[in-house]
Structure 1
Amino acid sequence: MSGTTLADWLRAQDDSVLVALLRARPDLATPVPADTAVLAARIGTRASVSRACEDLDTFTLTVLEALLVLDADLNPVPQPDLARLLGKDVKARPLKQALAALRARALLWGPDEALSTPPASRDAVAAFPAGLGRSVPALADVDLSPLGEDELRVLKTLADGPPIGQTRDAALVVALEQAKTPIQKLLARGLLIRRDGQTVELPREVGLLVRGDRPLGRIQVTEPSMRTTSLDVAVVDETGAGEALELLRHVESLISAWSADPPSVLRTGGLGVREMRRIAKDLEVDEQRAALLVEVVVAAGLVGDSEGAEPEWVPTALADTWLTATPEVRWSTLAQAWLDLPRLPGLVGQRDERERLLNPLSAELNRPNAPRDRRWVLEALAGLEPGTTVTNAGELAAVLAWRAPRRGGRLRDELVRWTMAEGTALAVLSRGAITTAGRVLLSEGPALAAKQLSDSLPAPVDHFLVQADLTVVAPGRLEPELADDLALVADVESAGGATVYRVGEGSVRRAFDAGRTASDLHELFRKGSRTPIPQSLTYLIDDAARKHGRLRGGAAGSFLRCDDPVLLTEVMAHPAADALELRKIAPTVLVSPLPLADVLDGLRGAGFSPAAEGPDGRVLDLRVGGRRIPGKSRATRRPVHVPTPSEDQLSELVRLVRAGDRARSTQRGERISVPANHGNGPSATLGLLQRAAKDGRSVLVDLVDSHGTAATRVIKPQIVGGGVLEGYDLSYGEVRRFPLHRITSAALVED
């Protein structure tokens, strides 16, 4: 049966069909096809067919494989034959929908009486479509009744797929009377094909006979079910907002810890196991969450490799900007960095094929397709009704495996589980459902997502509750200034919906070191607390204030002064005085060659309470602000998929393809070629181009580029002269210049 060619079928379609095709397969649009013949050739390439199959569901792929079983890539196949092969379980409606999906991607063309597929689809889809071997038409009506049970068992094993098997019996060719093993008997009967000395193949016709009334097995026409529950959207968003605040707290702690003590970069790159465990312990999280946090802060540019002689992971200057931003902006930065992360943090802790441990930030975690696959999982959740939660990640993985079985690779199921766990940690998901902010992040970007999260965050509170045991309870998110003041005078003991702080002598002294006075702290607790201030807290502050600052230090290297000579005598009598190289230069003054910060730290370790002072006698804050390296702008990651042009661009592409068809048809305008070794050729081409520029008409030019590659362009000439054609290249949408001597022919394009 002869059928129409793909190029002829494309020419017969409406422009809307071609626009839909280019939308479904955007790789076909780059570069712009010169005409329909070029488009058809590009459609049939193996790489393009393989990409087009990535988004096909399991049933549609089964239909495509069934077409290949019928050799639709060689000769057109009628739809009734296809329906018989699929079996009685496949109804007409889903089959019609599958054929429409294949036609929309040009993986199938022609009328129902003559269905054809691209020849490259056999290599791109499966080496053995439907698990069946090559066709041997002479075996279509073979009788299997004379076979013994051992021979039938071999045939059934190969019929279940794959249709090839490895056996030493394939090396020996014997007559049926001499055959001893089942393989030898089947080879002698011609029911197996000998591929080489160790491989046999089951012919397609024999496999279909063995399979019986279900030639393609049990076909799953619809996607598997998935259990879901419904929650109030407000509950999902509020829970996600709480998780976002917890995320920010952990990242702030990580930046603070690495500012003071940056971990080393391994020789092979990445972060060592010991440092990983330490940060997990400091943040009080498991190592998997700690690994995710580390990956995200580096991806967001908040931490970077110092790239020195002894490289370390050091916070960047961007971290300071991030720390001063609002909570919703800080969250959106982290969430977008995770969404675009071309790596799989879930692999941390596993081992590679050489049994080497995979560390955070190591190159082995790189996966260029990770952002695409991550969005694939999130968009499946975003496709559910708002507030719909997925209770089982395995069921979601099964659904996605049915929707796109060729995506995700061997880690597909783990990818779904990792994405759900990581999305929850990043507050993109909450309780198995996508948050409203996460939904906006996917569709609109980080700026609008930040605004959406701000609506879900609890309003900051302006008070706290001081307890008799010197703990302070913040019943929600504190106002930024109040939170900073409280964090200076108290240590976080536990975090969550309510944060518990503890006030101690060390934390109060920290506030004094930062320049706060006793009256400042009394005022902070008096104004901020909704409960009475316990007397023990007042005594603690006053007692620490009496001790603090009695010793005054300055740079000499450094000096210590005190109005009480007895106290200085006590300092000099302490063993720490020798280590600090202290020397008395006056009854009330000691000096040291060491930096002031070291002297003060040494004295505090010895039980004293010194304070630093400036030239004006005021208390100085000598707390180390943390190391920083210059921030690096995040590199624009090239998309792992070909971007889809806009509707206007697609319509223009189709118009150009149609113009190319018209230009190459017999009804096209005047064509002028440049013959070799003839003087009138170039002048005739020049004249045609000049007329086109004058009349505002487009031309189809064939040219050879600087690399000797032939190309075709649709050009609207603007200036022709000086050995150059300058015009608007309709194929690329920009003004370009072409040397006239590289143009081999030109033809007017009829409008």
Structure 2
Amino acid sequence: MKKDSPVPTLHRWLEQLNNEELSGILRNRPDTVLPLPPNLGSLAARLQLRVSIVRVLLQLNSLELVVLEAAANIGAELHPVTAPDIIKYLNTALKEQPHPDETQIKHALTRLKSFAIMYGTEELMIAQETMPALPNNWQLLPESRGSHLNFAAAQEAVDKLSAQHRKILGTLVAAGGFGLTKDAALGADPTRPIPQLIVAGLLARVDEQTVKLPAIVRRVLEGRPEIPAQLLPVPANAAPGNDDAGVAAGLEVVRLSRLLIDALSQSPATTLKGGGLGVRTISRLSKELEVSETEVARVISLGVATGLLRRGVPDPLPADDEGGDYIAPTPLADEFLEADLSEQLGMLMRGWWNQNIAPWMVGQADEKDKPIHLLSAASVRDIIADNRHKVIAGLARVEREQLRADLSFNYPIAAHRLQPELVAELISEAQWIGAYAGGVTAGARALLAGEDPAKAIKAPKTVDYFIVQGDFTIMVPGPLTPEMQKTMDTIASLESPGLASVYRLSEKSIRHALDMGLSTAEILEFLKSHAAMELPQSVAYLLSDIARKHGTLRGGPALSYLRSEDPALLHQAVEAGKEVGLHQIAPTVAIAQAPLLQVITQLRQAGFQPVAEDTTGASLNIAPAAARVPAANQPAPKAPLDETRIQAAVKAIRREDAATTGVASEQPTLAVLQAAVRGQRTVTLGFVDKQGVAVHRVVKPLTVTAGQVDAIDEASGAVHRFMLHRISEVIVD
């Protein structure tokens, strides 16, 4: 624009605001406050930075965005418009569908002004960089000219196109949606491809030389799904979630997290070069935890997000350490194991709320067509947590069937990019951890409110008894105490999770308990002391039968020895233990040149069931000390921009602005040209040619990219390219 342009500026409008109105803008735009802007001119510049405006646009609903789009369509980027102008335009453009009334439109304008992306009192303008900050080809209003096809009709028409016609449309997609052609004229040969596409509604005529690809046709060509514009809010109808069902699901995740911590404490998981976990590691943990690999991936991701697990070098190192990093528990895991159930579930839900790891992507192909590994960089998506917050917030407002429409209204830009598959995965995870159970549960509602979920979760009281049945099942009427739960997980396998769970005793589970150092007498005592009724004889028989087969080999820490009352069995064990240097020195005694743990491990891998013993013959648990990696350093929390700081900022800006002289810069050339492209307006360009001569030319700008402007000369119809730095003024005709 000319230097003495009368067009209102954001700076001038800010000067007219009272302190309360200015405080509201700072409250809505906290990223523009720190560091403190020295004056209103500096604040105005920050408010018009594209990166800041993008943050604002992501917060706007579709009603506010469609009002902004309408204002731009009638020229609010270039000159002032009024609220009645916008209302009239919207009523005309949306007459074929439900649309906002006058009150709703005025409320949207007030909110846009509260973010300072529109400004003015009676006469309104759009702040610079606002419209360019929207996604490419963003459009909520129906096409103003040309195509009026709906999505299904556009899809059908595109499917019937010949290769030649499809190639033309593909070229326009790559070119940004606009094209120059002599066939755009009204008198063009109707047998030519361009007029045929215009008649079919797949192209729109802009003028005699320009065609435009309608937004809905472009979406079909790009293979993206239809997202109908939801311009009015969806009535809230969500019912509260079933908190009991949510807690039951969450406590199963707590149980799996405890088992995972125990497993990784004894055997930390080695990582690949990229920091991810390999397929074999996931498979091993799946067998140890007795759950699917999908669930293992989820619980590992959750452990990392919560800080219970971390990549690093554990202490102590595994016996077979070959260098490199491991995934192992942190000291926070010990605090987790000692916490009560509500706090444990609360810790996990806080970690899940901000988790950016996508376990469902494991095994999919990355950009290089290689499989994605869990915890690798390819399995991390920074936007996942924000999408999770939006999905849960939507489910807190509406039923699941209306979720897509609700997201399209409240978060239209995010919903535009949000794939249905991702929404399904996020809801599935929410059900898994108990944040969603027929509705959003109390813990998740606390997270939405910025509160501690542990205080909202009503975990049932623990029980210290169970019912042992003759078919070897154990019915547990509620959550067990941590000590009892650890023992139960050792001696039995879970068959039915929930607040009331069912476990099963088996030969495999009891052998596992004996391998972990429990004796038959200790298992029997645990069952008897906590059984609500008399212990069935079949259970005692099972324990004694397994005990006769287990532990017939006895080992001691003499670096080390192995003994057995069965000479034949000892001989077989010596043959299987040559790798650890087992050597038979008597019919019932052998020694090894390896630590006892290594001997025991080797023999168990060979199919034997040896146990360790102390000098008195009592069974020992010789598992190594739990491995731990140091916890990550937590970043210092940023001080919130509270009301006191906002008021102090307003006073400081006012004080500095009063002492500052000079005039704020007017609308820059780039912003005006971009607006002229979107509005398809003719402008007079003042520029300096290669010979240094000042020249004026009437043109219609087509594109503004990479520091240059392509425009049609209105007189000759030729396309010219102008370097942005040579343009001295832009006059909108």
Please give the TM-score of this superposition, normalised by the length of structure 1: 0.69
Give the counterpart letter for 1:299 in structure 2. Answer: A
Contact 1:296 1:337 in 2 (8 A): yes
Kindly provide the CA deviation profile for residues 530-564 of structure 1, in whole angstroms up to 9, marking residues without a partner as x.
Answer: 222222333444566677777643233222457xx
Give 1:420 shift.
Answer: 1.9
Going from structure 1 to structure 2, the CA distance change for 1:118 and 1:592 (only over 3 Å counts) comes to: closer
Match of 1:531 in 2: 533
Match of 2:104 in 1: 94
Residue 399 of structure 2 corresponds to residue 390 of structure 1: yes
Q: 2:644 aligns with which of 642, 648, 651?
A: 648
SS at match of 2:346: helix
Give 1:194 shift.
Answer: 7.9
Contact 1:572 1:582 in 2 (8 A): no
Match of 2:560 in 1: 558
Kindly provide the CA deviation profile for residues 223-266 of structure 1, in whole angstroms up to 9, marking residues without a partner as x.
Answer: 2457x4535x6xx1111110111101222333344445554423
Contact 1:473 1:500 in 2 (8 A): yes
SS at match of 1:266: coil
Residue 615 of structure 2 corresponds to residue 595 of structure 1: no
SS at match of 2:591: strand
1: CA distance between counterparts of 2:137 and 2:563?
A: 89
2: CA distance between counterparts of 1:220 and 1:622?
A: 63
Please give the TM-score of this superposition, normalised by the length of structure 2: 0.70
Give the counterpart letter for 1:631 in structure 2. Answer: P
Match of 1:9 in 2: 13
SS at match of 1:115: strand
Q: Please, which runs of 5 or more residues in structure 2 have no aligned partner?
A: 146-164, 199-203, 215-227, 314-321, 663-733
Q: 1:246 aligns with which of 228, 242, 252?
A: 252
Residue 363 of structure 2 corresponds to residue 357 of structure 1: no
1: CA distance between counterparts of 2:257 and 2:385?
A: 22
Give the counterpart letter for 2:597 in structure 1. Answer: A
Q: Please, which runs of 5 or more residues in structure 1 have no aligned partner?
A: 137-152, 205-217, 667-751
Going from structure 1 to structure 2, the CA distance change for 1:605 and 1:628 (only over 3 Å counts) comes to: closer
Contact 2:53 2:133 in 1 (8 A): yes
SS at match of 2:374: coil
Give 1:652 shift.
Answer: 0.9
Alignment of 1:154-173 (within 5 A): 169-170=181-182
Give the counterpart letter for 1:124 in structure 2. Answer: A
Going from structure 1 to structure 2, the CA distance change for 1:4 and 1:373 (only over 3 Å counts) comes to: same
Residue 63 of structure 2 corresponds to residue 59 of structure 1: yes
2: CA distance between counterparts of 1:461 and 1:546?
A: 33
Q: 1:420 aligns with which of 419, 422, 427?
A: 427
Match of 1:38 in 2: 42
Going from structure 1 to structure 2, the CA distance change for 1:542 and 1:293 (only over 3 Å counts) comes to: closer
Residue 471 of structure 2 corresponds to residue 478 of structure 1: no
Alignment of 1:369-388 (within 5 A): 369-382=383-396, 384=397
Give 1:441 shift.
Answer: 3.2
**Paired residues, number:** 602
2: CA distance between counterparts of 1:84 and 1:161?
A: 32
2: CA distance between counterparts of 1:524 and 1:645?
A: 56
Match of 1:223 in 2: 233
SS at match of 2:69: helix
Give 1:338 shift.
Answer: 1.9
Q: 1:339 aligns with which of 331, 341, 353?
A: 353
Match of 1:579 in 2: 577
Match of 1:671 in 2: none
Cα RMSD, aligned residues only:
4.4
Contact 2:490 2:512 in 1 (8 A): yes
Give 1:21 shift.
Answer: 0.7
2: CA distance between counterparts of 1:371 and 1:284?
A: 29
Answer with 1 or 2: which has the greater Rg. 1
1: CA distance between counterparts of 2:106 and 2:185?
A: 49
Match of 1:732 in 2: none
Match of 1:736 in 2: none
Match of 2:117 in 1: 107
Q: 2:306 aligns with which of 300, 305, 318?
A: 300
1: CA distance between counterparts of 2:338 and 2:137?
A: 59
Q: 2:502 aligns with which of 494, 500, 503?
A: 500
Q: 2:127 aligns with which of 109, 118, 123?
A: 118
Kindly provide the CA deviation profile for residues 444-476 of structure 1, in whole angstroms up to 9, marking residues without a partner as x.
Answer: 44xx422332xx222212211111133322222
Going from structure 1 to structure 2, the CA distance change for 1:222 and 1:415 (only over 3 Å counts) comes to: same
SS at match of 2:125: coil
Match of 1:212 in 2: none
2: CA distance between counterparts of 1:505 and 1:191?
A: 78
Contact 1:306 1:629 in 2 (8 A): no
2: CA distance between counterparts of 1:529 and 1:363?
A: 49
Contact 1:7 1:37 in 2 (8 A): yes
Kindly provide the CA deviation profile for residues 706-751 of structure 1, in whole angstroms up to 9, marking residues without a partner as x.
Answer: xxxxxxxxxxxxxxxxxxxxxxxxxxxxxxxxxxxxxxxxxxxxxx
2: CA distance between counterparts of 1:590 and 1:381?
A: 66
Match of 1:636 in 2: 635
Going from structure 1 to structure 2, the CA distance change for 1:41 and 1:484 (only over 3 Å counts) comes to: closer
Contact 2:573 2:608 in 1 (8 A): no
Match of 1:399 in 2: 406
Give 1:660 shift.
Answer: 1.6
Kindly provide the CA deviation profile for residues 86-145 of structure 1, in whole angstroms up to 9, marking residues without a partner as x.
Answer: 125453111211111111112222233x22222322322466785899999xxxxxxxxx
Give 1:291 shift.
Answer: 2.5
Going from structure 1 to structure 2, the CA distance change for 1:87 and 1:488 (only over 3 Å counts) comes to: closer
Contact 1:265 1:272 in 2 (8 A): yes
2: CA distance between counterparts of 1:317 and 1:357?
A: 32
1: CA distance between counterparts of 2:144 and 2:128?
A: 16
Moved more, 652-661 or 258-267: 258-267
Give 1:162 shift.
Answer: 12
Match of 1:661 in 2: 657
Give 1:407 shift.
Answer: 2.6
Match of 1:700 in 2: none
Contact 2:238 2:395 in 1 (8 A): no
Q: What percentage of aligned pairs have identical amino acids?
A: 30
Going from structure 1 to structure 2, the CA distance change for 1:378 and 1:602 (only over 3 Å counts) comes to: closer
Match of 1:330 in 2: 344
Contact 1:397 1:412 in 2 (8 A): no
Going from structure 1 to structure 2, the CA distance change for 1:288 and 1:634 (only over 3 Å counts) comes to: farther
